[in-house]
Amino acid sequence: MKKAFLASIVCISLASCGGESKPTETKTVADMNPQFDKYKEQFIEDLWKIYPGWASSQGYHKYDSILVVPNDEARAKELTFAKANLDSLKSININGLSDNNKTDYYMIENQLKATEWGIIEMKSYEWNPSEYNVSGAFAEILAGNYDSLDVRLRNFYLKMANIPAYYEAAKKNIKNPTLEHTQLAIEQNLGGISVFETDLHDALNKVKFGEHEKQSIEATAKQAIAAIKDFADWLKKLDNKNPRSFRLGKDLYAKKFEFDIQSGYTADIVYEKALARKKELHEKMFELADKLWEKYLNKTEKPTDKLVLIKQVIDKISEKHVKPEEFQTAIEKQMPELVEFIKQKDLIYIDPSKPLVVRREPDYMAGVAGASISAPGPYDKNGNTYYNVGSLASWDKDRAESYLREYNHYILQILNIHEAIPGHYTQLVYANQSPSLIKAIFGNGAMIEGWAVYTERMMLESGYENSDEMWLMYYKWNLRTTCNTILDYSVHTKEMSKEDALNLLINEAFQQKAEAEGKWRRVSVTQVQLCSYFSGYTEIYDFREELKKQAGDKFNLKQFHEKFLSYGSAPVKYIKELMLSETNKSTN
Ligand code: ZN
Ligand code: ZN
């Protein structure tokens, strides 16, 4: 089947060579899109066979009953899949693809290469025991609304059968794991047992299965629970004399950065840029805080330490915030205001037929508070996009006060820009105009987060809420993103100590101790992800400035935004390449 596909491509490219290409222009390239579209369809079908759990999480439920045992055989299958598809890609002439397909091509290629690298070089299946945890996938089956509970429970039952083998394979894979990931694995696995005890039991009470079937399900669940407990016990008692450091080290970090961020910049360059940005932000913040001192703290003596001075002014300004009961309505009220400002300043077209639905955070999300966008998955075509806003109603006074100071009058507006308009929500609306299943599945996180962070600055530069207070708070917000990058890079490649990390976050980025401690925990069990916001943002901002310089007076911000978003959730470096080639075409 694959061979026939290759042959047809060769025929078409030969035909085009003998065709009617004009002598002075570059040769017309045969249209590769129909073939590539077919290839993509098959690729995704095959992908889901190799990764049934991933398929379920994306809303593709054909393989819900399958739990892959993570052994050598499974990894060999993944490698074969990656190699075969990389070979197929080689036979496709990229020049014959539309822009949308070009970026899809690059993203598939990156995914496959990342798979190979992950299995052969990174080998986290050996040192990260927290990769082994089944409860989340099972919880999703129980919580999903895509099918009747009967059907979902029967898939749940079949899928459970492999749990003992799954954890046996895990035990065979693990070698000198890091202490941090070992601890996390113990906590998360034990925490997930309730899915097989209470949640499953509640679900079984809702269906009319026969006694025999119920008993078989309960018996299999018992074996699953025993396997999970055994795995946690095994980890606790593991004779781990030379645990691996949770710090990734320079080489693996650089490679992971390449695959995950897909930036035009290297990790080293992004780190240097973050350091420079931190310095710039501190200078700007001091200037503003010094200016605002009299207005907010006139009778107090000015501290000599610049960072201390900034912190005191920030604390004062943070006192301006909404009441707990007004939190949701304040957010709702801001949506049309943001749209109006964008229209007035001609920043980007906002489709009026797709207003964002603001809703109270559903119960299953409760506790996380704040605000977030939830978009339908790639297979849920008719699903709504919501702006979930948490309610502070059940919070005690101190907790609500501390939260509202963080999301004060100024930061709340920046949050709305980031999450909703013209941030994540607007980006999503544009991405849906050139739908791509590949981008929905492999969407580039650095581009998506980078865009949202970029719009914060762009809105303020366009005059939104133009005040010294707003700018100072924005700089603080941007400092968080900037310092996340410095932290991640320094911890994983430069042996930064916990003490230095907390100093960076608390004293230089003005974070609360609890937030900083949480960030330390996060950086010791993840790598690179904390960089995605700053990387994407910097790349977009730099690119815009480059175009501005080139075009001079002719630069049009609205056109830039609309063109940029028209490529969907692709890595910034490819969008840049395609946009530049188009500019060159039109000026030639
Ligand atoms: Zn207050
Ligand atoms: Zn975001």
CA diameter of the chain: 84
Whether the full predicted model's pTM is greater than 0.85, yes or no, is: yes
Ligand (nearest to CA of 454) = 2
Ligand (nearest to CA of 319) = 1
Task: Convert 11-76 into a string of H (helix), E (strand) and C (coil).
Answer: HHHHHHHCCCCCCCCCCCCCCCHHHHHHHHHHHHHHHHHHCHHHHHHCCCCCCCCCCCCCCHHHHH
Integer Rg of the chain from CA: 26
The pLDDT value given to residue 374: 83
From first to last of its 588 residues, the chain has per-residue pLDDT tens of: 333 333 333 333 333 333 344 444 456 789 999 999 999 999 999 999 999 999 998 999 999 999 999 999 999 999 999 999 999 999 999 999 999 999 999 999 999 999 999 999 999 999 999 999 999 999 999 988 889 999 999 999 999 999 999 999 999 999 999 999 999 999 999 999 999 999 999 999 999 999 999 999 999 999 999 999 999 999 999 999 999 999 999 999 999 999 999 999 999 999 999 999 999 999 999 999 999 999 999 889 999 999 999 999 999 999 999 999 999 899 999 999 999 999 999 999 998 888 888 888 776 665 555 788 888 888 877 777 889 888 887 888 998 898 899 999 999 999 999 999 999 999 999 998 888 999 999 999 999 999 999 999 999 999 999 999 999 999 999 999 999 999 999 999 999 999 999 999 999 999 989 889 999 999 999 999 999 999 999 999 999 999 999 999 999 999 999 999 999 999 999 999 999 988 777 665
If we measure between CA atoms, which residue out of 530, 547, 536 comes closest to residue 492?
530
**Helix 250-261 and helix 99-117: axis angle, to 10°?**
150
DSSP letter, residue 531:
G
User: How many other C-beta atoms can be found within 10 angstroms of the C-beta atom of residue 48?
Assistant: 19
Beta strand extents in 351-449 (DSSP E only): 357-360, 371-374, 386-389
User: How many other C-beta atoms can be found within 10 angstroms of the C-beta atom of residue 194?
Assistant: 14
Q: Phi first, then psi: what are they for 372, rounded to 5°? A: -155, 155
Gap between the Cα atoms of 370 and 391, Å rounded = 8
Question: For residue 213, how many C-alpha atoms fall within 13 Å in the half-sphere facing its CB?
Answer: 13
The pLDDT value given to residue 584: 74
Determine the distance separating the centroid of ligand 1 and the alpha carbon of 506, expressed in angstroms. Answer: 21
Determine the distance separating the centroid of ligand 1 and the alpha carbon of 325, expressed in angstroms. Answer: 13
The pLDDT value given to residue 586: 66
Q: Find where tokens 């009961």 sit.
A: 325
Instruction: Find how far residue 504's CA is from the centre of its chain.
Output: 24
The pLDDT value given to residue 373: 87
Q: Is 7 exposed, middle or buried (0-12, 13-18, 19+ CB in 10 A)?
A: exposed
Instruction: Report the alpha-carbon angle 202-206-209, nearest 5.
Output: 110
Determine the distance separating the centroid of ligand 1 and the alpha carbon of 175, expressed in angstroms. Answer: 51
What separation in angstroms does the CA of 420 have from each of 33, 376, 509? 33, 15, 25
Determine the distance separating the centroid of ligand 1 and the alpha carbon of 503, expressed in angstroms. Answer: 26
The pLDDT value given to residue 292: 97
Determine the distance separating the centroid of ligand 1 and the alpha carbon of 488, expressed in angstroms. Answer: 32
Long-range contacts, stretch 41-44, CB < 8 angstroms, 24+ apart: 42/1, 43/85, 43/108, 44/437, 44/438, 44/441
**Helix 149-160 and helix 198-206: axis angle, to 10°?**
140
Task: For residue 373, list its beta bridge partners.
Answer: 387
Determine the distance separating the centroid of ligand 2 and the alpha carbon of 533, expressed in angstroms. Answer: 8
Determine the distance separating the centroid of ligand 2 and the alpha carbon of 429, expressed in angstroms. Answer: 15
Determine the distance separating the centroid of ligand 2 and the alpha carbon of 538, expressed in angstroms. Answer: 15
Gap between the Cα atoms of 403 and 205, Å rounded = 39
Task: For residue 389, list its beta bridge partners.
Answer: 360, 371
Gap between the Cα atoms of 284 and 348, Å rounded = 28
Ligand 2 being an ion, which residues bring their Cβ within 5 A of it? 449, 452
Q: Which two tokens stand for residue 294?
A: 């009299």
Helix and strand numbers, DSSP H then E, in the chain: 27, 3
Determine the distance separating the centroid of ligand 1 and the alpha carbon of 326, expressed in angstroms. Answer: 13
What size, in residues, is the chain? Answer: 588
The pLDDT value given to residue 13: 37
Determine the distance separating the centroid of ligand 1 and the alpha carbon of 320, expressed in angstroms. Answer: 7
Q: Find where tokens 């890609």 sit.
A: 89
Ligand (nearest to CA of 455) = 2
Pairing of strands 386-389, 357-360: parallel
Determine the distance separating the centroid of ligand 2 and the alpha carbon of 517, expressed in angstroms. Answer: 21
Ligand (nearest to CA of 324) = 1
Determine the distance separating the centroid of ligand 2 and the alpha carbon of 423, expressed in angstroms. Answer: 8
Instruction: Report the alpha-carbon angle 563-59-448, nearest 5.
Output: 30
- Asked if residue 251 lies in contact with residue 122, where contact means CB atoms within 8 angstroms, the answer is no
SS3 387: strand
